[in-house]
């Protein structure tokens, strides 16, 4: 009975999006990407940094609160860095902080309006110990119904709708039961909303298999922090199957020897997988609880230190990695297998 009720709730939430039982109905309206200031055409995304953060709070799901930080201080800290990359040609930044870890869509809207950047936020959940108690108790269908409702009505009364689904999985070789449920919930949400699923590292091939079992194609999956996987052959296999690989840990500087992440990226490019790759810094990180938010990491190194070198060997690569691929990865669309 609980499962039937949850499925009904999920269907009703999807109906609010105009996403009925058949995905074909979505084609009647122009496809748009949801940002903190409203929907835009995918073509208007421009140059995209596909995995960054403005603010994070690792106090724990049971203690996280808006009362723990001053949004004006976070705004003053982050804004110069956002303006800097706007001047460097960036037009969109995907803010990947999930709920219960410091997600603040209203703050992102303020920053977007002040910086001139499109900012995307997300629905979905992270992993233990940053999951609320109800995530352990509810079914995948119930979680998906809540996430779909955020895509329908907006997040926490702001009217701001998510531009993607952000989840995390455990780093072990096999997924634990709670993370399998989170992946299932993400799959169900994708099938109702068309939002892509960005999963914080771990056993990506198992995630792909779970998504396939729910009827979701690899093209809906972004393997976050692909550079962190010690077995890059698995990442490359995922890309060959159609998934996106996000190499999103580019350091602040580039020395005389290329860093490991650049070597990994070049290997993927040389393997002919350039059309399945995304790049970003995983930077920013105003840490709630640290004085002044700690050390805020800028988002500029790809533009100032890495693209000039990459372009010598791969002409036109900046458009592929920062414009074409992110647009395809972030454009909503139900991808069934």
Pairing of strands 92-95, 122-123: unpaired
Question: What pLDDT shows up at residue 173?
Answer: 75
Question: What pLDDT shows up at residue 336?
Answer: 78
Question: What pLDDT shows up at residue 129?
Answer: 85
Weakly modelled stretches of the chain, pLDDT under 70: 1-29
* Residues 279 and 265 sit within 8 Å (Cβ to Cβ): yes
Question: What pLDDT shows up at residue 1?
Answer: 45
Domain boundaries, the chain: 41-330
The per-residue pLDDT for range 220-241, each reduced to its tens digit, is: 999 999 999 999 999 999 999 9
**Residue the block writes with tokens 């609320």:** 132
Pairing of strands 38-40, 33-35: antiparallel
Question: What pLDDT shows up at residue 7?
Answer: 47
**Which CATH superfamily groups domain 41-330?**
Metal-dependent hydrolases (3.20.20.140)
Question: What pLDDT shows up at residue 57?
Answer: 98
* Nearby residues of 324 by Cβ (< 8 Å), 6 or more positions away: 275
Angle, alpha carbons 9-163-119 (nearest 5°): 145
Question: What pLDDT shows up at residue 128?
Answer: 85
Find residue 330's DSSP bridge partners: none
């Amino acid at each position: 009975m609980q499962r039937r009720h949850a499925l009904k709730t999920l269907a009703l939430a999807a109906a609010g999006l105009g996403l009925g039982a058949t995905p074909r109905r979505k084609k009647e309206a122009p496809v748009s990407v949801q940002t903190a200031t409203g929907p835009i055409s995918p073509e208007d995304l421009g140059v995209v940094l596909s995995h960054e953060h403005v603010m994070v709070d690792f106090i724990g799901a049971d203690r996280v609160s808006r009362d723990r930080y001053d949004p004006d201080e976070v705004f003053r800290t982050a804004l110069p860095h956002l303006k800097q990359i706007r001047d460097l040609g960036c037009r969109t930044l995907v803010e990947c902080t999930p709920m219960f870890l410091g997600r603040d869509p209203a703050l992102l809207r303020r920053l977007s309006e002040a910086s001139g950047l499109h900012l995307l936020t997300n629905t979905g959940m992270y992993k233990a110990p940053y999951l609320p108690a109800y995530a352990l108790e509810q079914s995948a269908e119930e979680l998906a119904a809540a996430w779909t409702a955020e895509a329908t009505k907006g997040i926490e009364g702001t009217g701001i709708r998510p531009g993607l689904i952000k989840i995390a999985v455990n780093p072990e070789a096999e997924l634990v039961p709670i993370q399998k449920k989170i992946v299932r919930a993400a799959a169900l949400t994708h099938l109702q909303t068309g939002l892509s699923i960005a999963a914080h590292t771990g056993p990506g091939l198992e995630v792909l298999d779970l998504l396939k079992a729910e009827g979701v194609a690899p093209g809906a999956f972004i393997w976050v922090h692909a550079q962190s996987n010690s077995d890059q052959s698995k990442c490359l296999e995922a890309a060959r199957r159609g998934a996106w690989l996000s190499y999103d840990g580019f350091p602040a500087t580039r020395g005389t020897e290329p860093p490991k992440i650049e070597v990994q990226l070049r290997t993927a490019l040389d393997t002919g997988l350039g059309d399945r790759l995304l790049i970003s810094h995983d930077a920013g990180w105003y840490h709630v609880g640290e004085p002044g938010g700690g050390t805020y990491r800028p988002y500029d190194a790809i533009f100032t230190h890495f693209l000039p070198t990459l372009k010598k060997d791969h002409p036109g690569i900046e458009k592929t990695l920062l414009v074409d691929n992110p647009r395809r990865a972030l454009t909503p669309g139900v991808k069934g297998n």
